[in-house]
Structure 1
Amino acid sequence: MTVYGVKLPKMAALLFWVVIWEIVGRFELMLLFPPFTEVLAALVEVVTTPSFAEAARITVYCYLTGLAIAAVSGIALGMLMGLVPFADRLLNMWVNIFLSAPLSALVPVIMILFGMGEPTVIVTVFMFAVWIIALDTRAGVLHVAPSLMEMAESFGASRTQRLKMILLSALPEILAGIRLGVVRGVKGVVIGQLLVSIIGVGALFQLYSNNFLMAHFWALILILFAFALSLAEIIGRLENRVEYYAGARA
């Protein structure tokens, strides 16, 4: 970022908003925003409590389980849509509808089907993440160079070998979909637990908001943001390592 010819580090924008947050909190301009320094102090208090450790265990389990199921299902669905035109015409509209639909409205229905517990949260994470993974996988499959498949056929590659070639060639888009699914999955796990509000971080959000412990509330949000951004950054670095597949397709 460059301001008046001076190159500033990427963290400058973040530090700017932290200062604004601190000023708003110090002057009590908005009651919902305590000073950022109080949030940092509350963060230490939050992560050292036994209730947070148990909530984190439940949340991470539900999140990773739902995301793993979404990744496997989304890649399979995207491969099917990309390889079979009839399946693409049949499913593409519905995948796009679920991607753009307000999925939080479906959580009460999921709760009726799976009960008020971990299965509901896992299914919610799955619903939030699977559609973007499927669409990005489909895009990657459709961008596979025809010459690559012609070469595979000319060398007598088996069906399994051709599928492996397609999967590797579409890997950049697949990883991009998983990276977006990681972020959407965090929204799913929070929304699922908030609406169930008896397990995981949802119970902590409910506890802090009911007792107006806003510093603890925002500290918990910062932890979730850091968790989501860390996972997205890890997958983003993996994306950079496989960019040569995209170059091979060109």
Structure 2
Amino acid sequence: MKVMGYELPLMSSLIVWAILWEILGQMDVSILLPPLSAVLVKMVEIIPTQAFLSALAVTARGFLTGTILAALIGVPLGILMGKSIIVDRMLLPWVNMFLSAPLSALVPVLMVLFGIGEQTVIITTLLFAVWIIMLNARAGVMQISPSLVEMARSFGATPWQAFREIYFWAALPEIIAGVRIGLLRAVKGVIIGQLLVSIIGFGRLFELYSTNFLMPHFWAILLVLFFFAFLFAEIFAVLERRVRYYASNRT
């Protein structure tokens, strides 16, 4: 972003929003919006507490487990959709439906099927993340040149060898992009799951603070959550840029 010919850092917009937040908070516009300075002070107080660390451990476990399962399921199925017309026609309508559907409405059904506990939170996280991973893996495979596949067949490559040496690596930029977006959706999934299923982890803290109108505490936890989501997204964005050269192998 340029202002009066000067190139500003990418974080400049965040600084502007932070200043605006502080001004509105100091004006006492709403009890729901405390000053940013009060939120940051409360964040420093909350992070070392046992309640926060326990909630972070529970949330991280559900988030990582659900996201890893989503990647392990979504990448192979997405590649299979990209290379097989039959599989693509069978799965694509369902993938599009679940990607656009309000998945929060399925949580009560999951509670009936899997009970009230961390297992349902993990499945909720998986459902939020897996569909976009599948679509991106599919898109990456569909951009692969057929000549690469024909060459592999002419050299006697087995389907597993073709999957491992051609499809996966050639579609890697899209796969990483899908995982990056899936991570952001998984953050939403794990919090919704914890709020609706069993009030554990960060979901329990959100419920506690909002019920008692402890808004600096509430916003402090929310900022921590945003930080981790931003951190994961940036890590995968860097990884995505580093593997872009694999896309050249598809043509």
TM-score by length of 2: 0.97
Residue pair 2:114, 2:120 contacting (<8 A) in 1 also: yes
Identity across matched positions, percent: 55
5 Å matches for 1:87-166?
A: 87-164=87-164, 165-166=166-167
- 1:116, distance to aligned residue in structure 2 (A): 1.5
| Total equivalences in the alignment | 250
TM-superposed CA distance for 1:194, in Å, is 1.1
1:115-152 CA distance string (max 9 Å, x none):
12101110110000000000001111111111211222
Check 1:205–1:113 CA distance in 2 against 1; reply closer, same or farther (3 A cut). same
The letter of the residue matching 1:129 is: A
Q: Determine the structure 2 residue equivalent to 1:231.
A: 232
- Quote the Cα distance in structure 2 between the aligned partners of 1:59 and 1:139: 31
- Say if 1:197 and 1:206, in contact at 8 Å, map to a contact too: no
Partner of 2:151, secondary structure, is helix
1:3 shift after superposition: 2.1
Task: Give the corresponding residue for 1:19.
Answer: 19
Q: Deviations over 1:19-72 (max 9, x none)?
A: 000000001012211000000001011111111111111110011011111101
Amino acid at match of 2:178: G
1:5 offset after TM fit, Å? 2.1
Once the two structures are TM-superposed, the CA of residue 114 in structure 1 deviates from its matched residue by 1.4
Which amino acid is 1:111 matched to? M
Give the whole-Å Cα distance in 2 for the aligned partners of 1:159 and 1:122: 32
Q: CA deviation at 1:248?
A: 1.9
CA distance in structure 2 between the partners assigned to 1:206 and 1:151 by the alignment: 57
In structure 1, what is the equivalent of residue 169 of structure 2?
A: 168
Matched residues in 2 for 1:116 and 1:125: separation? Answer: 15
- Structure 1: distance between partners of 2:61 and 2:172: 26
Q: In the aligned structure 1, how far is the partner of 2:86 from the partner of 2:151?
A: 25
TM-score in terms of structure 1 length: 0.97
3-state DSSP of counterpart to 1:9: coil
Residue 76 (structure 2) aligns with: 76
- Please give the alpha-carbon distance, in whole angstroms, between the structure 2 residues aligned to 1:23 and 1:179: 34
The Cα offsets for residues 164-209 of structure 1, whole Å up to 9 and x where unpaired, read as: 1111111111101000000000000011111125211111011111
Q: Is the 1:196–1:202 contact (alpha carbons within 8 Å) kept by the matching residues of 2?
A: no
Distance 2:137 2:87 in 1: 14
Amino acid paired to 2:236: I
Looking at structure 1, the residues matched to 82 and 195 of structure 2 have their Cα atoms a distance apart, in angstroms, of 36
Give the secondary-structure state (helix, strand or coil) at the position aligned to 2:199: coil
Residue 197 of structure 2 corresponds to residue 196 of structure 1: yes
Where in structure 1 are there 5+ consecutive unaligned residues?
A: none
Residue 108 (structure 1) shift: 1.2
Q: Call closer, same or farther: CA 1:18–1:197 in 2, change over 3 Å.
A: farther
**Structure-2 separation of matches of 1:14 and 1:188:** 25
> Is the CA contact (8 Å cut-off) linking 1:82 and 1:141 kept in structure 2?
yes
For structure 2, list consecutive stretches of 5 or more residues without a partner in the other structure: none
- Separation in 2 of the partners of 1:29 and 1:58? 35
Q: Over aligned residue pairs, what C-alpha RMSD do you find?
A: 1.1
Residue of structure 1 in register with 2:213 after alignment: 212
- The one-letter amino acid paired with 2:80 is L
